[in-house]
DNA sequence: TATTGTTATACTCTATAACTATA
DNA sequence: TATAGTTATAGAGTATAACAATA
């Protein structure tokens, strides 16, 4: 298991997760390929992939404040400020003072932002299908469910972060 | 499908890859969690996760030169130079002139490097199991096979990069 | 002329801490 | 005192181009 032989073993099953760290290599490689296509798909959208993810999260998850928005995406609040500045500048979102907490601000999408998001989403959905084209429908769905489950494990295990309610009861 | 309702639909199947970009969010989140634990596991190893991956690739994939090594890991050759400097400094690897091409250098591991790698690999294997603990054995193996297959699709689709021979005939 | 590896520069991210206004 | 958001600064990481040696 400590991997002495270069490429022997691989006993029986087509699996053989022989080399420690390989799962990470595969994850990183898929994510890299994903992000390259993602970058093309979002085109000129301010903030690139991150900008898209903010718009998507605002629309589909409706986080209460910037903190929740950032923690869902793994973006630090100090970074989110600049990112939101760009999106506000382009009139894609607005910062609305929270009625219940005057320190907090809720991010809401504009009509313009919604249009931009929907157009980008079509392109994103397109390349996601492209990336998964080597899988049949069952395998693709199963992969998504598994990865999303793991993602939620990770999300939950980070102390001080508990912004999973939305996705939690989506399942 | 364009997501008007906040969290409705999700028709039938437990899957529902409804939101474009969510696969990327899940991938990124899992990778983030993975890398946090990875960082702990490699500890003081020079170059951190990247350093570990270099050692692992050198031992398990035996790339012909730095170019092949870097392209397997998605590391630019200009970055790899500095990374290797650190590893050489700690006597974990050596740069050996290639006999067939005097421009190229082959990276070989030292006895010391092999020890360090094996010790780190135990810890890495440990946390990988931990990360996947919510999956049963079949699901974990299937996930690995699927992800690795996608990773190889990505790897192959990058023009000018073809360092997949090693892993290719591993399958 | 193209490629391997190195070096130097600039740019972009990210992490940290300090500040404000609220709670 | 703690939290939401902002701002400023420094550090790490990354990309780019130029260079020497070799193919």
Q: Verify whether the Cβ–Cβ distance B27 to A24 is below 8 Å.
A: no
Instruction: Retrieve residue B98's tokens.
Output: 């290639």
Q: What is the pLDDT of residue A158?
A: 64
In the predicted structure, residue A26 carries a pLDDT above the cut 60: yes
State how far the Cα of B37 lies from the Cα of B74, in Å rounded to an integer: 20
What stretches of B90-136 show up as alpha helix (H) in DSSP? 111-131
Most confident of A25-34, A53-62, A145-154: A53-62
Restricting to B residues 99-158, those with a Cβ less than 8 Å away from any Cβ of A are: 118, 121-122, 124-125, 128, 131-132, 134-135, 139-151, 153-155, 157-158
Q: Note if the pTM is more than 0.75.
A: yes
**B48 exposed, middle or buried (CB, 10 Å; 0-12, 13-18, 19+)?**
middle
pLDDT tens across A57-75, in order? 999 999 999 999 999 998 9
Query: What is the spatial distance, in angstroms and rounded to an integer, between the CA atom of A81 and the C1' atom of D1?
Result: 25
Q: What is the pLDDT of residue B83?
A: 96
In the predicted structure, residue B29 carries a pLDDT above the cut 90: no
Torsion angle (degrees, nearest 10) of CA B139, B128, A26, B105: -150
Nearest to B15 by CA among A165, A170, A1: A170
Positions of chain C reached by protein Cβ under 7 A: 3-8, 13-18, 21-23
Q: Which nucleotide lies closest to A79 by the C1' atom and the CA atom?
A: C14
In the predicted structure, residue A143 carries a pLDDT above the cut 90: yes
Per-residue CA distances from B140 to A88, B51, B130, B143, B147 (Å)? 42, 26, 11, 5, 11
Query: A73: how many CB neighbours lie within 10 A of its CB?
Result: 22
Q: What is the pLDDT of residue B36?
A: 86
Nearest to B23 by CA among A17, A33, A68, A47: A33
State how far the Cα of B107 lies from the Cα of A11, in Å rounded to an integer: 29
Q: What is the pLDDT of residue A35?
A: 87
In the predicted structure, residue A163 carries a pLDDT above the cut 80: no
């Amino acid at each position: 298991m400590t991997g002495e032989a270069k490429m022997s073993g691989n006993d029986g099953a087509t699996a053989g997760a022989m080399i420690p760290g390989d799962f990470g290599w595969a994850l990183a490689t898929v994510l890299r390929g994903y992000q390259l296509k993602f970058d093309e798909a979002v085109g000129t959208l301010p903030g690139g992939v991150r900008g898209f993810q903010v718009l998507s999260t605002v629309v589909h998850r409706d986080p209460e404040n910037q903190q929740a928005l950032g923690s869902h995406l793994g973006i630090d609040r100090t970074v989110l400020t600049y990112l939101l500045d760009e999106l506000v500048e382009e009139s894609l979102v607005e910062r609305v003072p929270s009625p219940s907490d005057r320190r907090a601000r809720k991010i809401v999408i504009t009509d313009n932002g919604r249009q931009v998001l929907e157009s980008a989403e079509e392109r994103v959905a397109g390349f996601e299908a492209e990336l998964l084209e080597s899988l049949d429908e069952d395998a693709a769905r199963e992969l998504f469910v598994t990865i999303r489950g793991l993602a939620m494990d990770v999300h939950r295990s980070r102390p001080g972060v508990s912004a999973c309610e939305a996705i939690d009861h989506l399942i």
